[in-house]
Amino acid sequence: MPPRTCIDSLIAFLHHHLRALLADPAALHATRRRCLALLTPTLRHRCRNNLSGGQDEEENDDDDEAVLAALHGSIDALLPPSVVDGAAAAGAACLAGVEEALQAPALLPEHGETAGLDNRRVAACAYFYLALVRCAQGDAWQMAMDLLQAVAVCPAAVAGTAREDGAHRAGGLAPRALWEGLFDEGVLARAGGTGEDDAARRAARRYKDWLMYYKVVAADGARNGG
């Protein structure tokens, strides 16, 4: 277990990069474009959807579209000027609404699809934007947990190694400096696994375990008057 100062540094590092992203309109718009690319159904699914029919399938499609619509709306809501002043009443209300809207896509079952998209990819996008919301709200600990959960769910979506149709590479959601600082070669080598994505997933889960440990320790200390 690393010392508490290392965990504090980890949280501060993530907060620095996500806060910088929120303060950079061009970078936010670029992140939105990358996210929308990750949320584009495959051609195969669109063709299959056009050929299929039936009331049950239509109802499922409506549910799927509602989940994706909530995610798309949340992504757009975080564009400037929505998060210019998170302390203002209107900004706080906007962030609370975005946080609520992101819950459904974030909590999709890991195995399965939503409107032809791998649920892990959808959930990773939702968790990444939840991390941005937490950052704007000033909740640095939960920000770190949500970002790490995005990586644990789908490292490729966050790191920029996602592929579509076996060839196309879509840019990842995380700022490059954040990813390279959090998952450098040494970290990935120590994490082990069957490849870079698996190593990043293992490392993210380890980071989360450390965060949870110190959260519990801090809570116990507060209860015991320490």
Q: What is the pLDDT of residues 167-192, one digit of tens each?
A: 334 568 999 999 999 999 999 999 99
What CA–CA distance (Å, rounded) separates 180 from 158? 12
What CA–CA distance (Å, rounded) separates 132 from 7? 19
- Could you tell me what percent of the chain has a pLDDT over 70? 78
The whole-number pLDDT of residue 53 equals 53
Q: Give per-residue burial for 121-137: e unless 16+ CB within 10 Å, then b.
A: bbbbbbbbbbbbbbbbb
Is residue 82 a contact partner of residue 101, using CB atoms and an 8 Å limit? no
Whether pLDDT at 219 is above 70:
no
In a 10 Å sphere around its CB, with 0-12 CB exposed, 13-18 middle and 19+ buried, how is residue 52 labelled? Answer: exposed
| Structural domains in the chain (count) | 1
What CA–CA distance (Å, rounded) separates 73 from 75? 5
pTM of the model: 0.85
Question: Per residue in 38-78, pLDDT tens?
Answer: 998 865 554 455 555 555 555 566 788 999 999 999 999 99
**Residue 221: band (very low, low, confident or very high) from pLDDT cuts 50, 70, 90:** low
- What residue type is 128 in one-letter code? F
The whole-number pLDDT of residue 85 equals 47
**Could you tell me the residue range of the domain that residue 176 belongs to?**
4-223
Length of the chain: 226
Handedness of CA 77, 80, 81, 84 (dihedral sign): positive
Which residue reads 């592929």 in tokens? 163
Better-predicted residue by pLDDT, 155 or 91: 155
What token pair was written down for 68? 């994706």
Better-predicted residue by pLDDT, 32 or 224: 32
Written as one string, the DSSP assignment of 28-55 is HHHHHHHHHHHTPPPHHHHHHHHH---H
What CA–CA distance (Å, rounded) separates 35 from 150? 13
